[in-house]
Amino acid sequence: MSPDAIPMSTGRYGSNAGQPLTRRDGVLKVTGRATYAADNTPDGLLYAVTAVSTIARGRVAFLDVAAAEAHPGVVAVMTPANRPPLFHDPEEKMPPFGFRVEVLQDDGVRYVNQPIALVVAETLEAATEAAVLLAPRYAAEPARTDRASGERYAPPAVGVGGSPRTAHGDLDAGFARAARIVAAEYETPAQYHNAMEPHAVVAAWDGDKVTIDMPNQAMALSCAAYGAYFGIPAENVVIRSPFLGGGFGSKAILNGPQLLAILAARQLGRPVKLALSRAQMYGPVGHRGQTWQSLRLGVDEDGRLTALHHHSLSATSSFDDFLEPAANAALPLYASPAILVEHEGLRLDTGTPGPMRAPGEASGSAALEIAIDEAAEACGMDPLVFRLANYAETEPGSGRPFSSKALRECYAEGAKRFGWSKRPLQPRQMRDKNGFLLGWGMGTAVFPCPHFPASARATLRADGSALIETAGADMGQGAWTALAQIGAEALGLDPDQVEFHSGLSTLPDGGVAGGSGHTASAGLALHEAGIDAIARLTELALNDPASPLYGAGNIGVTARNGRLHRRDDEARSEAYADILTRAGAREVVGTAKSARDPAVAAAHAMYSHGAVFAEVTIDPDLGQIRATRLVGAFAAGRIINPLTVRSQYYGGMIWGASFALHEEAVTDHRTGRIMNADLAEYHVPVNADVPSLEAILVPEDDAYVNPIGVKGVGEIGVTGTVGAIANAIWHATGVRVRRFPVRIEDFLAV
């Protein structure tokens, strides 16, 4: 494999964007030929293992370094006493996604699983055994692990630089004129990414240059950050990330263990590999922070909102400030003349939370969608009718028009396919064939449409094929397939004729693979690079007297099926290969940098929308809950690949079921340890847990979100599903759940 590019095999695909093509990387993955970071074994490789804290707060009083160093095969033991210097202070954040990291800067302990030493050895076994021999002793302090023991504070920001408070209208006046007020508190747990591929790194230095194999969602930003930490130019850092076994936001952020491994490789002059164990991923690489959310809704006699107040107490670490922006979920969705959302922080002795699959929207919509259902119940209204009564024609608060919004169509299509019209209004009215309680619920899905600056390159070759390049990331969402389709369409070629290179930081910056914005961002760059390449090819033809296109400058040409055609006479055309051959050129290269027009962005509210309908059954004797059917209808602009888009919607809805019924990090409040830091006890759904899934792709055209009309689909499926399942549980039992995951004991003897 060339060190300059990581090509994806092409195979035979459909004609252009919009086709349900199978994944380009699929065969490599299912046959085991895909190379993940930890699969790399360069010559002279050493193995690193982090020794981690077993207390949540205090300091390391003793490490038996001598015993570890004496173990056969051990090459080095790095501790705060001998760690080489870094050129950037790890306590200083590095925007835009910078976090404070633990890289043995002192003997302090701030959470369980914090790195307290790094052992490097000739074998993984030797490094693992030596890490145990360190036998740390601690000066421990009481762990702050819950709302009662944590420190509440006013945060400077939430999420990635978001405002902690947003207000529209007169809240007091809105509640004063309300006929009914619904108020309740909702709790969501800490959750961990648990991607199939653990965080790993293989680092090899050559002088002041370093090559890093690692799963990475933001290569250009990471190169700049690593360059700052090691005092070298960003271009001296090469990241290779051809395959990611899931990321969900956690692999866009630098973390301490990986930094230490790269530092050890530099110090020892040999390549070093580090792969976190499953348990070690519960701490230094981010998670979804716990929330306690209070919602207060005022409604008038007609069931229309008069005021909406959403407050979130969001947990974070004792030393950093990433807070789940949960309350912001109330801002874009329901029409209310008065809205107040506000956030408060809670400092705990835990690793710092970070972006995790719909950060803020997932936990915030879980609470909001139950509250909306409770308001509908108080008004005696069907939940769908209530939502339609409070449908926002423009963005609440700002009044900006939506760039597009087919939410009404999502409601209609989803309800029709689900059979919602047959739903009785009152709870406990339905049973399945086994006599189990049966309930139907719904939730609205919404997610913003970010755009990250991105670059791309498109090369048309003399043999009629093409190469398109951008340093993007595919975590399993099918991005490389969709991006290749976008590039092929811009070039007027079948995807079979297009070679796609990605996953390497020396390629043009593909932006951030996160926030459901990667396909739109990198895709627009590829689209514009393709247009630029066609323009350069067109110039060759129009200025060549031997070309049938000569002199057609004022008329213009179109690119289709590997040929340029005159707009006024389609029969007068010429193949790309002929144009280049006659010009004596091996290729023409187009480049582009894409960014959203700030004026268009300021004038429009940009979101994907959807509606999720859920069916649950509950054993009335045992309280066992099953989500037996999920139907989601989503509108997300132009769909590039319906096959991979459906896969993403399925994944989102499954994650929503996981949020509602399975996922929870259980903390021992005496020690701060997470007691289920493995995939045996940290529950996520399997196929049997979600037996029926359906995703409806609602057509939607958006002329403003970007020139290719693409929105994001990865995270929106989570946002409507959690509330839909909780509301279905109420419909089955008459018991309103306000804490996740829903537990069997909530329904014993219902």
The span from the CA of 589 to the CA of 532, in Å, is: 8
The span from the CA of 277 to the CA of 292, in Å, is: 30
C-alpha distances in angstroms, 11 versus 469, 481, 497?
Answer: 18, 11, 9
Question: What is the chain's Cα-based Rg?
Answer: 27
Nearest to 16 by CA among 493, 565, 456: 493
379 and 583 Cβ atoms separated by less than 8 Å: no
Cα atoms in the Cβ-side hemisphere of radius 13 Å centred on 432: 17
DSSP code, position 105:
S
Contacts of 370 (CB under 8 A, 6+ apart): 184, 186, 723, 726, 727, 736, 737, 738
Say which amino acid occupies 150.
Answer: G
Nearest to 66 by CA among 142, 144, 123, 119: 119
Asked if residue 215 has a cis previous peptide bond (ω within 30° of 0), the answer is: no
**What are the two backbone dihedrals, phi and then psi, of residue 267, each rounded to the nearest 5 degrees?**
-65, -40
The span from the CA of 123 to the CA of 452, in Å, is: 41
Please name every residue paired with 455 in a beta bridge, in sequence order, or none if there are none. 593
347 and 314 Cβ atoms separated by less than 8 Å: no
443 and 611 Cβ atoms separated by less than 8 Å: yes
H or E element that contains 181: strand 180-188
Question: Tokens 């879980």 belong to which residue?
Answer: 366
- The single residue of 125, 469, 715, 745 carrying the catalytic annotation is 715
Active site residue 141: no
DSSP code, position 157:
-
**What are the two backbone dihedrals, phi and then psi, of residue 455, each rounded to the nearest 5 degrees?**
-130, 160
H or E element that contains 201: strand 200-206
The span from the CA of 617 to the CA of 515, in Å, is: 33
Distance between start and end Cα atoms, the chain: 61
The span from the CA of 443 to the CA of 461, in Å, is: 50
Residue 215: strand, helix, or coil: coil
711 and 634 Cβ atoms separated by less than 8 Å: no
523 and 38 Cβ atoms separated by less than 8 Å: no
CA dihedral 231, 234, 236, 242 (to 10 degrees): 130
DSSP code, position 402:
B
Question: Tokens 């079948």 belong to which residue?
Answer: 494
Residue 339 buriedness (CB in 10 A; 0-12 / 13-18 / 19+): buried
The span from the CA of 132 to the CA of 624, in Å, is: 41
| Strand pairing category for 46-52 and 272-275 | parallel
The span from the CA of 447 to the CA of 237, in Å, is: 34
Contacts of 699 (CB under 8 A, 6+ apart): 406, 409, 635
The catalytic residues are 715
